[in-house]
Structure 1
Amino acid sequence: MDDLFHILTDDLDLESKNVIKVIDYQIPLYRARIASSINALKKMQAEPCSELGPTPPQLASDQRMSPSGISVFYGAFNRSTCISEIRPIVGDLAVSAEFRALSKLNLIDLNKLPDCSAVDDIYHDDVLRHSHARSFFKELVFSMSRPARRAESNPYLSTQFIFEY
């Protein structure tokens, strides 16, 4: 894993390459949840931080980056994305809320990693290492963006492993 993610630890200016996105209190993050009943909806409206914040560990299910039982705050940069992620159907009570970071967050833009791993010089000492990382990151982004198939067991195991690393 260290060999693949060397791009994040090498002495590179990742902010100028747009790999690191800095989030502060000015940038809204959205989160959504489906209310199971009118009472649940009212509770979400009354206590949005506790009800729409990170899922309690006992309710946390398998997600792209976290296994069951691990509480993680999944947020989106726009409301429509977070609503589509919860996959509501007609008649569901979908609720969303806007959150702001209390301190600066440094997020990795995985879509930018393949380009940072590119080496133009085929005679560069690390050309194989860089090309392997570039291929891996392209596959990683694809794996993380596709929905899980219902019959697939542990569909996110590989991406959860990357997140833990």
Structure 2
Amino acid sequence: MLYKLIESLKGTDGFKKKGYLGSSIFRARIKNDHWAMSESEMRQTPNSFATAGRMNPAGISYFYASEEVETAIAEVCKCKAEVAVARFEMHGEVNFLDMTKIIDLPLLFDPTKRELSEQILFLRGFIDDISKPIAKDGREHIEYVPTQIVTELLARQVKGDGKSIDGIRFKSSVKEGGINWVFFPSAFEKIKYAQADVVEVDLDSGS
């Protein structure tokens, strides 16, 4: 079913190849006194320390980022805190799957297109799953398994314009209008660290 899904994706405008030079993306972490703000702290976790994430399995680190500072903060912080926000720049040609467009594909009620409609519904469910909050209660590694399987298949098997894709662009569920990215290891060299700052966040007061 997943391989059929990939074939269906190839018939959409979801696969994109775009040249980026200095386009900014952002990562945020809640700041504490146990680490100094630096590129190594703000980048993806090394594989040897990578725990299971929403899209990455344990031991394989992905680079998660947002197109807007506000979205990056909202993804990690829901309270009053000091948040470190790093700006990275994309350089070079990025081959990616744009889920922000696929989610809007219309369902087809033509009986002969039933399978495609089911695949669109599956994609919508997948997009919901990669965006929704998951409680850190010790069971999150189980909750992550379905999205990890699909993402790993996309990372390893999907070709856009004959090349492996570098990552996925998708809508944020915690920030209206916000856009997130996840980059696979093959694309890390296209992401250059620029700077980082600490901001005070107090969502109760709207700041």
Provide the TM-score with structure 1 as the length reference.
0.76
Deviates more, 1:101-110 or 1:74-83: 101-110
Indicate yes or no: 2:92 matched with 1:110.
no
Aligned-pair identity in percent equals 25
Mark the runs of 5 or more structure 1 residues left unpaired by the alignment: none
Relative distance call for 1:83 and 1:21 in structure 2 (3 A) is farther
Q: 1:64 & 1:23 partners in 2: Cα distance?
A: 27
Deviation at 1:115, TM superposition (A): 4.3
Aligned structure 1 segments of 4 or more residues deviating by more than 6 angstroms = none
Aligned ranges 1:13-162 → 2 under 5 Å: 14=13, 20=16, 22=18, 24-37=20-33, 40=35, 43-44=36-37, 47-48=38-39, 50-87=40-77, 89-90=79-80, 92-116=81-105, 118-119=107-108, 122=110, 124=112, 127-151=113-137, 152-153=139-140, 154-162=142-150
RMSD of aligned residue pairs (Cα, Å): 2.5
CA contact (8 A) 1:19 1:113 kept: no
Please identify which structure carries the higher strand content: 2
Q: Count the aligned residue pairs.
A: 150
Question: Could you list the per-position Cα deviations for residues 47-106 of structure 1 after superposition, in whole angstroms to 9, with x for gaps in the alignment?
Answer: 32x22111122332322111232211101000111112222643x431111111122212
Bigger Cα Rg: 1
Provide the TM-score with structure 2 as the length reference.
0.62
Deviation at 1:19, TM superposition (A): 5.4
Q: Secondary structure at the match of 2:53?
A: coil
Relative distance call for 1:105 and 1:25 in structure 2 (3 A) is same
Q: Secondary structure at the match of 2:83?
A: strand
Q: 2:48 & 2:79 partners in 1: Cα distance?
A: 24
Deviation at 1:31, TM superposition (A): 0.8
Mark the runs of 5 or more structure 2 residues left unpaired by the alignment: 154-207
